[in-house]
Chains A and B, each alone.
Chain A
Amino acid sequence: MSAPVSTFVNLRWGFVACGAIWTALQVYLIHSFGFNWYVAFTDSIISSVALAGACWLIDNTLRFYQPSKSSYLNLLIWCALLAGICLAISRFALPPLIHDGEYFVFVIKSLIIRYFTNFLAIGWMAMISLVWYAQQDNKENEKRKAEAEKLAKEAELYNLRQQLQPHFLFNSLNSINALIGFKPEEARKMIHQLSDFLRGTLKKDDQQQVTLNEELAHLQLYLDIEKVRFGHRLQTEISCDEQCRTAVMPPLLLQPVVENAIKFGLYDTTGDVVVSLRGEVDEGYLVIIVQNPYDPQTAKPRQGTGFGLSGMQRRLYLIYTRNDLVETYVNDNIFTTIIKIPQP
């Protein structure tokens, strides 16, 4: 919202310069009515400082608060009020400083014209501030929009790359290669699982939501393949009640999370690994809790916010514009990921 510092400083000096010119003009004007320089200066400086104060006040207010179109009348009233206050300052502060009967009459007579010049000056300031800050806001919005678009594009690229999942793919093919030798039936089964899984990743449209049931079916394909790869070391527990099976969510959200959990579990511990996934519906949210064992001694520091997790967080942000939908906890060598998905 705030303008860059350099323009801000320039503006401030511009404001001071305008004030100085205004004061000088007033000095000249009052002097031309036949008052001496002392009177002209005192009057001009006091009323100009009051006016500058009012202008600064209105500008500052508008910087932090952009009135809606319906409250423009309020703004006008404020301008009128501030002009009145400035006038009162001139009216009551000047005569005690300048003991001159002729000058007093001049002040009283010029009240009306002083009021309207004050009002015009303050109103003009309000208008300029209004336009300036609205424009600043616009610029800021444009920037934010461009950034969001860039993020969306990046996420799309990341998704494309993720879909290929070269490590997973080649290791699975290697497992099939092994099975063909001595368990051809299982090799065939795994080829089917792998094809179904890949087909599933390719046809999903990012915009369309799927039910948890569909997502879990896709996840199961992935888990079956991983279980062939890692054998008995990998065990999974999936539980969710009937009502949350129909809850909806963006497609292909869970696979990277579970992949992350498996990686953490399998790569940081050497024993058997249980990855558990629990789903529940709670106050308009589908809550999915994924847990995996984890060894804080060996877990690589940077994996803490794993690539899979940050990708998912960004996707959720792009879809729901919220950053608070993913939480992670570490406790007693168990790593927990909690994902909340708002339900329509």
Chain B
Amino acid sequence: MKQVLIIDDEPLARMVVLEYLQDYKDSINVIQECGDGFEGMKAIMQSQPDLIFLDVQMPKINGFEMLELLEQPPAVIFTTAFDEFAIKAFEAHAIDYLLKPFSKERFHKAVDKYLAQSGTPVQQQKQTESLLEEVATQSPVQHDRIVVKTGTKVKIIPVHDVIYLEADDDYVSVHTTEGSFLKNKTMSFFEKVLDVRQFVRVHRSYIVAIDQITRIDPYEKDSHIAILKSGAKIPVSKSGYVKLKQVLGI
């Protein structure tokens, strides 16, 4: 029995999925319906579903941002009405999606496909991750903010509040004026996502907001140290220094 969640902000849209799922009574159990990304995230963490039906455009945080917050996202079938950009991303990563309004036949095809290949969750997670990376680098909205999770709470950080990012094992620590937050992403992910005119990766483990730098001092042979407005001292590698000089035009 597969455990399933439906996440969509329109009650009627959830009902369609629910109704169509009647045909899978023996193999699929709907645990819960959620009306927004916050609820969805909590429900997924609590009940660890096998599959979710996920709307893209939702209140507060969109479907992609919700997935980003999950350590191990479940398998996803996206549902969306019209989002040229998302559809391109789905197709590029061979991820199944349903265009509203969808027919029962189309729905069956998506669910059957999931049921047939559901033995390889690792591969699915990889697909989802690469999808999220593409969405984050391409989508205009997600350039502006970083969504993080502190405990069960979700925090939305506007990009211009970020002072610097620091690698922290498998995480990245996002340092802001309001404190630091962990995000389960890699440095290279942020290097791709953030605006190159605002942020520079000055070191293997550091990305700095350019407008936060007050001084760059030499430090040992071949390396420098950047001193930020907040007083933080950030190591700058040889190649990082070259990049910094390029961006600052010195």
Rounded to whole angstroms, the CA-CA distance of A266 and B141 in the bound complex is 17
Rounded to whole angstroms, the CA-CA distance of A181 and B101 in the bound complex is 13
| 8 Å CB contact of B15 from A178, A269, A270, A302 | A178
| 8 Å CB contact of A175 from B12, B39, B58, B59 | B12
Shortest Cβ distance from residue A289 to the other chain B in the assembled complex, whole angstroms: 24
A174 B145 Cβ-Cβ under 8 A: no
C-beta contact mask, A153-183 vs B, less than 8 Å → 1, else 0? 0000000000000110111011111110110
Which residues of B sit under 8 angstroms from A171, Cβ to Cβ? Answer: 10, 13, 81, 100
Which residues of A sit under 8 angstroms from B11, Cβ to Cβ? Answer: 230-231
Which residues of A sit under 8 angstroms from B10, Cβ to Cβ? Answer: 171, 174-175, 229-231
| 8 Å CB contact of B12 from A228, A297, A298, A301 | A228
Rounded to whole angstroms, the CA-CA distance of A269 and B10 in the bound complex is 14
Say yes or no for A268: interface residue by CB 8 A criterion.
yes
With A167-B82, A177-B16 known to touch, is A266 a contact of B9 (CB < 8 Å)? yes
With A171-B81, A171-B100, A173-B100 known to touch, is A298 a contact of B60 (CB < 8 Å)? yes
Say yes or no for B112: interface residue by CB 8 A criterion.
no
Rounded to whole angstroms, the CA-CA distance of A166 and B87 in the bound complex is 14
A175 B82 Cβ-Cβ under 8 A: no
Q: How large is the interface on A (under 10, 10 to 19, 20 to 34, 35 or more residues)?
A: 20 to 34
Q: Which of B39, B82, B144, B158 has the most CB of A within 10 A?
A: B82
Say yes or no for B249: interface residue by CB 8 A criterion.
no
Rounded to whole angstroms, the CA-CA distance of A267 and B101 in the bound complex is 21
Say yes or no for A278: interface residue by CB 8 A criterion.
no
With A174-B101, A300-B145, A301-B144 known to touch, is A179 a contact of B35 (CB < 8 Å)? no
Add 6 more A-B contacts to A167-B81, A167-B82, A182-B19 (CB < 8 A). A170-B81, A171-B100, A173-B101, A174-B81, A270-B38, A298-B61
**What are the 3 A-B residue pairs with the smallest beta carbon separation, nearest first?**
A174-B100, A170-B81, A178-B12
Q: List 30 A-B contacts (CB under 8 A).
A: A166-B82, A167-B81, A167-B82, A170-B81, A171-B10, A171-B81, A173-B101, A174-B12, A174-B100, A174-B101, A174-B102, A175-B12, A177-B16, A178-B15, A229-B12, A230-B9, A230-B11, A231-B10, A231-B12, A266-B9, A266-B59, A267-B58, A267-B59, A267-B60, A270-B36, A270-B39, A270-B60, A295-B60, A298-B61, A301-B158
